[in-house]
Chain A
Amino acid sequence: MNKLGGAIYEIHHMDEMAEKDQWLNRIHPLVKLILTVCYIAVTVSFPKYNMEGLLCMGVYPIALFILGEIPFRDSLRRLRIVLPLVCFVGLFNPFFERQPVLALGGITVTTGMVSMLTLMIKGIYSVFASYLFIASTSIEKICYAMRLLHIPSVLVTQVLLTYRYISVLLGEANRMMQAYSLRAPNQKGVHFKVWGSLAGQLLLRSMDRAAEVYESMTLRGYCGEFCYAAGTPCRWKDYLYLGGWCAVFLFVRGRSIFW
């Protein structure tokens, strides 16, 4: 499978994961959305030297990986581009904050090192929380939850259609690359002379396909407002799940403030 084919496969695989009939997937999307936002807000609110509190916050992603039966190794592979970027954010802290905190063996740990680690952990946790939300909730349900929060329809539809058109674009690009490689068997990659025409073709084809998809939508009554399946209302299990996790977040965060 080539790179583009792999990317399409990954998108479809994520869709499949989100559609699985599983305990975590059955939690109301609004509850999961609120929890994800709360978790990220609480995580980033920790002081930059509070390593202990942050480590305790790790319980949420760990629990979700287990409850949702989401493979951790696959997740790391999917996030291999994002995670290093997130870690890069705090990389310069050790150079600016050099006050020693403790000595581990022969190495002096400075405040800069601690703040770098906490920044990295905050970033990693936030990425994991978002990933776990997406992996356990289909895009339609995410958009439905956003509408329940009264996020404007235009924005929500943008999110939904952008997600749908990504696979359309990748599909077109994949077909073009396959056609190219079959007629240029000895070439590695695409020759620079045809970059322009390939990119232009891709744009035109994608526009055509997107126009056809849009026509198909309008022919079936679409007029700017996506009608989502009215999901089941929040049940007591959903409230319990939300309340339970909020209590954990408040306890961990409150502990670092009051004790």
Chain B
Amino acid sequence: MYAGRASRQEKNLRKELEIMSHIHIAFNHVNFSYEKSAPILQDITFTAHEHDSIGLIGANGVGKSTLLKLLVGLNLNYEGSIRIEEIPVAKETLPKIREKIGYVFQDSDSQLFMPRVFDDVAFAPRNYGLPEEEVKKRVEKALAMTKIGHLKDKQIYKMSGGEKKLASIATILAMTPDIILMDEPSIALDPRNRRNLIHILNGFGHLKIIASHDLDLVLDTCSRVILMHEGRIIQDGGAKEILSDKELLESHGLELPFCMQGQSG
């Protein structure tokens, strides 16, 4: 009987360790502020696993973008602990961490700085020392995934907002990241390109975190939602439960997704 209990305990421990090993992101009591008097993030604790798709929602200025920036080490003076695949986010680990993460900026003009689409998408693979043949392959694959292969040689300043957004997404897909972070990815996209984006996001099997006000997009692409308010996590749970909770959303400056508004009325 004792031996049976021990083996069960061992099994549980192994299971726990297995879960631990698949934890890609772990925030543990993280606080962040530029000035002490005005905290931006307070006591943020959550974990994210390998195949999670998480929607980060909340009203303007609740700290969604800041949270994403902490993950890639763009702000390092935080309190608490942030780990990506068991590696703490610190100055000395940044190159290793950034190789695993693709971050799409809210403003595409900040993301794209090379003259042509091809050069911009090739920027990361070249920096990681891949041979030119492999760089070309990756660029073409990323452009095909975002369905902008025809824009390969286009000058970036000549592109529309939607095209720029798709090119920004291609720049990170070319890195073949383990984790994708997106800050308002559906901004500037027309309905067809938005559907294309949803298709791309659903095709990405690894961990993704999407900060967005477009709750319909979040509903279509994420199985889990983290609701933030005034720098804190208010709710962390299934996308359908949180996004259909009218009272909860409205009390935190949001509204039901459009596709649910008719149903609730």
Contacts and interface: CB of A to CB of B under 8 A. Distances in A.
Contacts of A212: 105, 107, 110
Contacts of A138: 115
A213 interface: yes
B124 A140 contact: no
Nearest to A161: B113
A221 interface: yes
Interface of B: 72, 74, 94-95, 98-99, 101, 103, 105, 107, 109-111, 113-116, 119, 122-124, 126-129, 132, 155, 157-158, 171-172, 175
B95 A229 contact: no
A217 B175 CA distance: 13
Given A212-B107, A221-B99, A223-B95, A15 B127 contact: no
Interface in A1-57: 12, 15-16, 19
Given A219-B103, A221-B95, A229 B132 contact: yes
A16 B99 CA distance: 32
8 contacts: A12-B155, A15-B115, A164-B113, A215-B74, A219-B101, A220-B127, A222-B127, A227-B126
Contacts, number: 68
Contact of A216 (B95, B113, B157, B158): B113
Given A220-B171, A221-B127, 5 more contacts: A167-B157, A220-B98, A221-B175, A228-B126, A230-B132
Given A209-B110, A212-B110, A219 B119 contact: no
Contact of B110 (A164, A216, A222, A229): A216
Given A212-B107, A222-B127, A217 B155 contact: no
A229 B136 CA distance: 10
A139, A216, A222: which has the most chain B beta carbons within 10 Å?
Answer: A216
A75 interface: no
A231 to B, nearest CB: 10
Contacts of A228: 126
Given A19-B116, A219-B72, A229 B122 contact: yes
B206 to A, nearest CB: 17
